[in-house]
Structure 1
Amino acid sequence: MGGVGFSVYGFKDKYTDSILFLKIYHDVRSSGAGGHIFLDFVEYTGHIPIQLTTDKGSEVGWLYAFMSVLQSVYAPDIDPSVYPFHVLIKSIHNTVIEGFWRRFKEKTGLNLKDFLLHGKEQHLFNPHDAMHEPLFYWVFAPLIQQALDDFIDWWNHHRVRHQHDKIMPSGHVPAHALDYPELFGALDCRIAIPPEAVAELRSQLDEEGPASKYQTFPGLTPEFNIYATEIYERMGAPTVTLAGAWDIFVEMAREIALDQAE
């Protein structure tokens, strides 16, 4: 949409069908971005899996290295020749996450896309106005992330369709299976990772750049955040919802234009 938009990266548990992590980012393709995203996931959950399965994207180089190091240190008894710590497959074969993306789009993604495109179709967003890009992210990034968080909550607590011939659980609630795997004939195989290990690995990414290099949306500087907050409060700090977000965007853009004209 005129050069702005969001990328989504997620991690999903195959056995329980639980969504473990689902976040919006500016960059999900470069190697450095992938390294920081993986560490965000480990920091958020406090664990790594015995095996991580991804496609062969450009972002997975550091994921492979970090999985190797963390498993060798915190689960040295696991033989990687028996249980590979990272499996790389073509995206069309990565059915766990690819199938999930289809469900996500059907449930939430298409509505979010249509909602964001409304601003372009109605000419509310002007890609040639330098202030519109950071304002777009200031208004919409928190809303989109909240929509993802709501979807995670729904998904992890909905009942999965029963499949008679499925070896792994079916007809269950994902969060229940994740919290009580023994009730489903399984073990909790997550490998606990301390926060200091995540911090140490982040330091290894210095050559790639800090997380902010990949995760800060264009133009959304600390200075702009302060300025946009002042504009928002000047308007009376109206509640921001998806339904009214474009109205708030237009009003804030108008206030910014008036400031610039003075």
Structure 2
Amino acid sequence: MSVRSLGYTCLVTQSDLGSEAYYIARGHSYIRQCLDPDLEGTLQHRWRREKKNIPPEVVWSGLRRRFTPGFEDILSSPDRISNIRYDRFDPLQYSIFKWLFIDWLQMELDAYALRINNTRKRRQKHKILPQGGAPNEIEEFPEEFNACNFKASQYMQDAEALYAPPDHETFRKVSPEFELRISRAYASLGNPEVTRARIWNVYMDLLIVLEQEELDGYNLLGFEEPAPPSGEEVEHLETATFPKFH
């Protein structure tokens, strides 16, 4: 999502050995090899073991301290408030929850990231990466911070089509049929604004509306969530051979 919104990708990506980065590594390497055929057979992603992935871990730690606690409280509201009915093993309630909460939480995370990236960081004398400005300033004007511009804006749509097609079931929160039903229900409520204070109220309003409808025969989920890549697949990336691009 960040690559699509920015319109370009970077020189090298980096992560720990988690399988969630499998297709990021594949897609990014595809782009870099399309731009430079001499990179054939190389992986333009750095796998960092244990405590060697420090910068992302620092950001993650900050997220856990500043962002997560308050939203965990919001998400755990059904455990404290008796008139909120939510059971993740109930297909209807689970589908409403995914449809409503995933986009809202992504919006909150985007706002948090924007705030952090617009905040100037304290200088560190041993740091070799560009500093002296907010991350967004350094990213947009690298030359002003004694840095080079390695942005790549080509072949991104091809990489997305290969490794993250938008119509893949992974990106589908609910079945298309249920999407239509809940969208109509949401519109019938007047398209209420979803905020931290009101999100569970909107959830309950949707639940009441949809419970009044006949749901028998409708496929609420519509698909089985695909299994993540295995550890062997992730490790194989370190020696992966990619096709030659011209």
TM-score (norm 2): 0.74
- Which residue of structure 1 lines up, in the alignment, with residue 171 of structure 2? 215
Q: CA RMSD in A?
A: 2.9
Paired residues for 1:6-21 under 5 Å: none
CA drift of 1:132 comes to 0.2
- Which residue of structure 1 lines up, in the alignment, with residue 237 of structure 2? none
- Which residue of structure 1 lines up, in the alignment, with residue 196 of structure 2? 242
Gap change, CA 1:156 and 1:251, over 3 Å in 2: same
Ranked by relative contact order (alpha carbons within 8 Å, sequence separation 6 or more), the top structure is 2
Contact 1:74 1:192 in 2 (8 A): no
2:213 maps to 1:252: no
CA drift of 1:112 comes to 1.5
Q: Which of 151, 156, 170 is matched with 2:112 structurally?
A: 151
Contact 1:163 1:171 in 2 (8 A): no
- Which residue of structure 2 lines up, in the alignment, with residue 113 of structure 1? 72
Contact 2:8 2:153 in 1 (8 A): yes
2:145 maps to 1:184: yes
CA drift of 1:185 comes to 0.8
Gap change, CA 1:102 and 1:259, over 3 Å in 2: same
Q: Residue 47 of structure 1 aligns to a residue in which SS?
A: coil
CA drift of 1:192 comes to 2.7
Identity, in percent, stands at 22
Gap change, CA 1:91 and 1:227, over 3 Å in 2: farther
CA drift of 1:167 comes to 3.0
Alignment partners' CA distance in 1, 2:44 and 2:40:
9
Q: Which of 165, 186, 193 is matched with 1:232 structurally?
A: 186
List runs of 5+ in structure 1 lacking aligned partners. Answer: 1-39
Q: Residue type of the partner of 2:58?
A: G
Alignment partners' CA distance in 2, 1:107 and 1:121:
22
Answer 1 or 2: which has greater strand percent: 1
Alignment partners' CA distance in 2, 1:164 and 1:234:
58
Q: Residue type of the partner of 1:52?
A: T
Runs of 4+ aligned residues of structure 1 deviating over 6 Å after TM superposition are: 77-81
Alignment partners' CA distance in 1, 2:7 and 2:166:
21
List runs of 5+ in structure 2 lacking aligned partners. Answer: 216-246
Instruction: Write the deviation string for residues 25-71 of structure 1: whole angstroms up to 9, x where unpaired.
Output: xxxxxxxxxxxxxxx55444333322221212234444444443322
CA drift of 1:103 comes to 0.9
Q: Residue 186 of structure 2 aligns to a residue in which SS?
A: helix
The number of residue pairs the alignment matches comes to: 213
- Which residue of structure 1 lines up, in the alignment, with residue 227 of structure 2? none
Q: Which of 139, 160, 167 is matched with 2:121 structurally?
A: 160
CA drift of 1:200 comes to 5.4
